[in-house]
Amino acid sequence: MLVRHRRATLQALSVCALSLLLAAAGVSGERALPTPVPQSLTPYVAVLVWHDVLPAKEVWFDTTTATFEQQLEAIAKGGFHVIALSALRDHFVTGRAIPSKPLVLTFDDNGSGIYRYAYPLLKEYRYPATLFVHTNYVGKTTSKHHNTWDELREMEASGLIEVQSLTANHPPDLTKLSNGDVVHELRLSAFSLEHRLGHKVYALVYPYDVYDPRVEHLAAQSGYTLAFTEDWGDAAASSSLLELHRYSILTRFDQALSDVSAAAR
């Protein structure tokens, strides 16, 4: 009984400390971050993330076109249903039904191989996907070449691809930035996407998978409904809509499919 009391006390202190931290930072911590509505807790949903797709890897987190095609074939043969990110949003926010064995396909960093190699395969399989794009690097070359606005518009015009935010400049650590600088990154990216592509931006990926409660609250206050991490697991079981699980295909593609299949039995 004493242990339980101590645990409850520590939890209360943690919540209080977080509230004080957010208040000191000028972030309203009065409202908890939204969570998936109760009727969306099933089925098990795996959100998958790739980066660039190329005939041969340039960096370790690339995927070869051969491997990518094998993965899409495994999805098709396994009886999975690939749904658009907007369908997942509606499922989590309103409880709108989604098919059994659902998967969501996402890509980070806007590498040019997504347009040249992944997009044609996605069209062949008729699988929707979401690209998370750092808007100040669109059409530019850093360590990689990035797709142009025209290429992003072409992909969106297919009805299969939607583009969402990976901030404006892909900062290495959002948690080290001031409130104003975090909000600038989030709102500038959303403004650029909405201005260039003509649709509402509602989803975010935290660069380098670095975030904290302050950043999550700032994302919510900046108009984002969903935000994604690379902490794998059932997206429906995430602690909030601003901290949604994703499976990295580099190490957990097979596990993602296995987890969804096991939950559907």
Q: CATH number of the domain at 240, please.
A: 3.20.20.370
Angstrom distance (rounded) from CA 251 to CA 48:
11
Angstrom distance (rounded) from CA 260 to CA 265:
9
18 exposure class (CB count in 10 Å sphere: 0-12, 13-18, 19+): middle
Cβ atoms of residues 203 and 165 within 8 Å: yes
Any domain includes 2: no
**pLDDT by residue for the chain (265 residues), tens digit each?**
333 333 333 333 333 444 444 444 445 445 799 999 999 999 999 999 999 999 999 999 999 999 999 999 999 999 999 999 999 999 999 999 999 999 999 999 999 999 999 999 999 999 999 999 999 999 999 999 999 999 999 999 999 999 999 999 999 999 999 999 999 999 999 999 999 999 999 999 999 999 999 999 999 999 999 999 999 999 999 999 999 999 999 999 999 999 999 999 9
Helix (H, G, I), strand (E, B) or coil at 112: helix
Any domain includes 25: no
Any domain includes 156: yes
The residue with tokens 């593609």 is: 253
Any domain includes 24: no
Any domain includes 119: yes
pTM: 0.89
- Domain span at residue 235? 43-264
Any domain includes 27: no
Any domain includes 33: no
Any domain includes 152: yes
Q: How many domains does the chain have?
A: 1
